């Protein structure tokens, strides 16, 4: 009897809440026909002018529409809040716009609180973002729930609604929850409203365009400054040696946003369950975003990545406290600090990911894999071999524009540490090479209907294979044309040439054959503009000089510097297509920009590869 009364009490307790929800739904319905549906249509078309006119024309009902739409985007999550905030700033005086948006946020937050606490309802959109929120929460220095919520509201790329679903799932009392929500969203709303107010002044021709742009930039900078101060105080983990830090997740989120959805990534990591953590993971290297694809595998802990040291020292990157989640490596330089860092991370229990090619593929085929079997055996952990396919044609080294493609990431093999110890280094190197090698031209994952598939291709295929002329090829539309002899090689939807050789890699081999004829007598010179970077990434000096490449090595001479990097000490030459090639000397990084024929950067790299192949054969 007592249990029945208790259950009845629970039902009665939920009844008022249900009535409130029904009333809110009815209120939404009242506005649907005349305001909300037209407004959402304008929102989907990004028509801020139309939305502004709609709100102004509805008087008091327009006020209510602002709050209701703000609440709606909170509950649904995927509707962007900035649109209604900017629209309200365009439509109403700043204090009114701020109040309306904040009321809407509190209304939406209250509905979410009721859905989660009373009805135990969660949003699928929130569940998709829960992983990053959990990582940020785990890594924050201050574990107070209210401080964590403020932190999340200041973080970019996390919708307000998702944060409220998270806050509602904690034990935070409603009064503290709603106070945190009401105050935590103010900076973002203020910036959006002020942008709208500035836009209103511009539309009224009282504000020059350059002043409008300056205001928007300053407001955005102010918001990011507030975010940076708050994150530094409450967010960043005190232990710089931790990979499970909020900064790690934030950086991944930024790259996910940059990457977008042009490339569909298919993951096959069933074999990863056979590997004991920590492990070493090796992969072929087809595109800049390969690290992001490998991150998506079901790692037991966040992996640490071996990264080109140059990227780690860029102005913004060097201030991001990623700790040991990134292991810097000078390209094609033998040094002890990298293997020591790998060992330290393995001892801490973190997987380590590296690309044994050390660079992106120029022609779609895997580069020579740099030797590392002795180190892998010494580490005494499992070795995971992963192949990435489809990434080269989506985002090749020589083309700035990314194409839609299907990326496949598959764990090909797991070599247990005991099995590895029974192999010689030579046997292990052979297994790695055979497992990871890929030729993008063999199995394109989709058709490419684009009309500019050859654009930039001359920065790899720098020589005409029909007449032998240097730097006369040009990618025009879907054709690689020689401006000297007029020959043309057209690319079809499979990214194959319609004439022989049928593939990019086949054309590349033809160029190699032409270069091989004079390899022993090579004497290549180039006037260059030079930038010299110190180990901290700062430019030490800029100068002009001359580079020479011959069988002895690569030499450089300027008014202040002269040195030689011997050929046997160059396993490869790092370069950017049509821009520069680079070497290290005495710890400093030299970037060489050819004054004439920037296409030749690919030639210098190919010739160094050919000498390396000859040494390997011998």
pLDDT at 490 over 90: yes
Neighbouring residues of 599: CB distance < 8 A, sequence distance ≥ 6: 458, 459, 462, 471, 473, 578
Closest CA to 446 of 263, 616, 594, 195: 263
Please name which of 34, 92, 38 lies closest in space to residue 63, comparing C-alpha atoms. Answer: 92
pLDDT for residue 604 is more than 60: yes
Most confident of 102-111, 229-238, 294-303, 542-551: 542-551
Q: Quick one: pLDDT at residue 92?
A: 63
Q: Average pLDDT of 548-570?
A: 96
Residue recorded with tokens 């950017």: 576
Helix (H, G, I), strand (E, B) or coil at 114: helix
- The model's pLDDT over 172-197, given as tens digits with 9 standing for 90+, comes to 899 899 998 888 888 777 766 565 55
Q: How far apart are CA 162 and CA 511, in angstroms?
A: 54
Report domain extents, the chain: 14-203, 246-436, 457-516, 524-617
474 pLDDT band (50/70/90 cuts)? very high
Angle at 252 between CA 456 and CA 45, to 5 degrees: 70
Q: Where residue 527 falls among pLDDT bands split at 50, 70, 90?
A: very high
The Cβ-side half-sphere exposure at 374, using a 13 Å CA radius, reads 3
pLDDT at 497 > cutoff 90: yes
Task: Give the pLDDT band (50/70/90) at residue 11.
Answer: very low
The DSSP symbol for 519 reads S
Phi-psi region of 85 (alpha: psi -120 to 50; beta: other; left: phi over 0): alpha
- pLDDT, residue 271, reads 97
Mean pLDDT of 327-332: 92
CB atoms within 10 A of CB 495: 23
| CATH of range 524-617; options 3.90.1150.10, 3.10.20.30, 2.30.29.30, 1.20.1050.10 | 2.30.29.30
Q: How far apart are CA 194 and CA 196, in angstroms?
A: 5
Tokens 């096959």: give the residue: 268
Distances (CA, A) of 130 to 32, 106, 127, 163: 31, 21, 5, 9
Mean pLDDT of 513-539: 95
C-beta separation of 420 from 383 below 8 A: yes
Residue 222, pLDDT > 70, answer: no
Distances (CA, A) of 581 to 269, 469, 529, 599, 601: 36, 22, 11, 11, 6
Per-residue pLDDT band at 373 (split at 50, 70, 90): very high
In this predicted structure, what is the pLDDT of residue 239? Answer: 43
**Strand, helix or coil for residue 501:** coil
Crossing angle of helices 94-117 and 60-76, in 10° steps, is 40
Residue 577: what pLDDT? Answer: 96
β 574-576/580-585 pair status: antiparallel
At 142-158, the pLDDT tens digits run 456 787 787 777 665 57
The enclosing H or E element of 581 equals strand 580-585
Q: What is the 3-state secondary structure (H, E, C) of 407-462?
A: EEEEEEEEECHHHHHCCCHHHHHHHHHHHHCCECCCCCCCCCCCCCCCCCHHHCCC
Bridge partners, 353 (sequence order): 281, 305
pTM: 0.68
pLDDT value at position 102? Answer: 83
- Here the tokens at position 264 are 């569909």
Give the C-alpha separation, 299 to 284, whole Å. Answer: 18
Mean pLDDT of 606-613: 97
Nearest to 194 by CA among 225, 215, 222, 166: 215
The pLDDT of residue 221: 62
Torsion of CA 595, 598, 601, 602, to 10 degrees: -160
The reported pLDDT for the residue numbered 563 is 97
Residue 24 has pLDDT above 70, yes or no: no
Distance CA 279, CA 314 (A): 29
**CA–CA dist 238, 242 (Å, integer):** 9
Please indicate whether residue 250 or residue 356 has the higher confidence score (pLDDT).
356
Checking if the pLDDT of 238 tops 90, the result is no
Residue bearing the bigger pLDDT, 81 or 147: 147
To the nearest whole number, what is the mean pLDDT of the chain?
81
Query: Percentage of the chain surpassing pLDDT 90?
Result: 49
- Cα 10–Cα 14–Cα 20 angle in degrees, nearest 5: 170
* Digit-coded pLDDT (tens) for 113-130: 888 888 777 666 666 666
pLDDT, tens only, 271-325: 999 999 999 999 999 999 999 999 999 998 889 999 999 988 877 666 665 666 8
């Amino acid at each position: 009897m007592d249990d029945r009364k208790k259950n009845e009490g629970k039902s009665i307790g939920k009844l008022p809440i249900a009535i409130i929800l029904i009333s809110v739904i009815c209120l939404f319905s009242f506005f649907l026909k005349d305001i909300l549906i037209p407004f959402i249509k304008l929102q989907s078309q990004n028509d801020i002018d139309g939305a502004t006119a709609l709100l102004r024309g509805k008087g008091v009902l327009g006020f209510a529409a602002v709050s209701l739409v703000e609440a709606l985007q909170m509950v649904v999550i995927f509707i962007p809040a900035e649109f209604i905030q900017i629209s309200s700033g365009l439509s109403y005086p700043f204090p009114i716009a701020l109040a309306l948006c904040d009321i809407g946020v509190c209304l939406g937050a209250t509905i979410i609180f009721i859905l989660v606490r009373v009805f135990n309802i969660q949003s699928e959109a929130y569940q998709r973002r829960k992983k990053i929120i959990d990582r940020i929460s785990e890594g924050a220095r201050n574990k107070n729930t209210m401080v964590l919520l403020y932190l999340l509201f200041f973080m970019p790329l996390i919708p307000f609604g998702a944060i409220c679903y998270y806050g509602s799932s904690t034990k935070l009392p409603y009064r503290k929850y709603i106070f945190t929500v009401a105050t935590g969203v103010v900076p973002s709303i203020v910036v959006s409203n002020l942008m709208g107010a500035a836009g209103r002044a511009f539309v009224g021709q009282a504000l020059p365009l350059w002043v409008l742009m300056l205001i928007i930039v300053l407001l955005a900078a102010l918001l990011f400054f507030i975010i940076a101060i708050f994150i530094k105080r409450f967010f960043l983990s005190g232990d710089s040696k931790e990979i499970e830090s909020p900064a790690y997740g934030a950086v991944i989120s930024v790259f996910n946003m940059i990457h977008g959805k042009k490339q569909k990534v298919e993951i096959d990591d069933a074999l990863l369950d056979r590997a004991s953590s920590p492990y070493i993971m090796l992969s072929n290297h087809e595109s800049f975003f390969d690290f992001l694809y490998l991150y998506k595998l079901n790692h037991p802990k966040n992996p640490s990545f071996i990264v080109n040291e140059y990227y780690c020292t860029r102005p913004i990157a060097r201030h991001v406290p990623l700790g040991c989640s990134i292991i810097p490596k000078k390209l094609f330089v033998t040094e002890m600090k990298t293997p020591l860092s790998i060992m330290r991370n393995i001892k801490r229990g973190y997987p380590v990911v590296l690309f044994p090619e050390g660079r992106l593929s120029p022609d779609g085929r895997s580069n020579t894999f740099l030797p590392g079997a002795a180190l892998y055996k010494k580490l005494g952990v499992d070795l995971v071999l992963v192949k990435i396919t489809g990434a080269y044609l989506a985002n090749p080294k020589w083309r700035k524009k990314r194409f839609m493609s299907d990326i496949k990431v598959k764990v090909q093999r797991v070599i247990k540490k005991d099995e590895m110890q029974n192999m010689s280094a030579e046997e292990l190197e052979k297994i790695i090479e055979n497992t990871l090698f890929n030729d993008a031209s063999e199995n394109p994952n989709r058709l490419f209907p684009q009309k500019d598939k050859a654009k930039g291709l001359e920065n790899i295929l720098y020589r005409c294979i029909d007449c032998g002329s240097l730097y006369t090829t040009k990618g025009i539309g879907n054709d690689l044309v020689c401006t000297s002899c007029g020959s043309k090689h057209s690319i079809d939807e499979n990214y194959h040439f319609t004439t022989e050789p049928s593939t990019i890699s086949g054309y590349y081999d033809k160029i190699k054959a032409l270069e091989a004829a004079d390899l022993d007598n090579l004497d290549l010179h180039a006037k260059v503009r030079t930038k010299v970077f110190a180990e901290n990434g700062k430019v030490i000096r800029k100068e002009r000089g001359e580079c020479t490449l011959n069988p002895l090595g690569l030499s450089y001479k300027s008014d202040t510097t002269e040195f030689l990097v011997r050929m046997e000490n160059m396993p490869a030459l790092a370069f950017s297509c049509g821009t520069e090639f680079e070497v290290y000397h005495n710890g400093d990084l030299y970037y060489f920009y050819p004054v004439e024929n920037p296409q030749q950067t690919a030639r210098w790299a190919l010739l160094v590869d050919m000498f390396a192949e000859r040494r390997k054969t011998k």
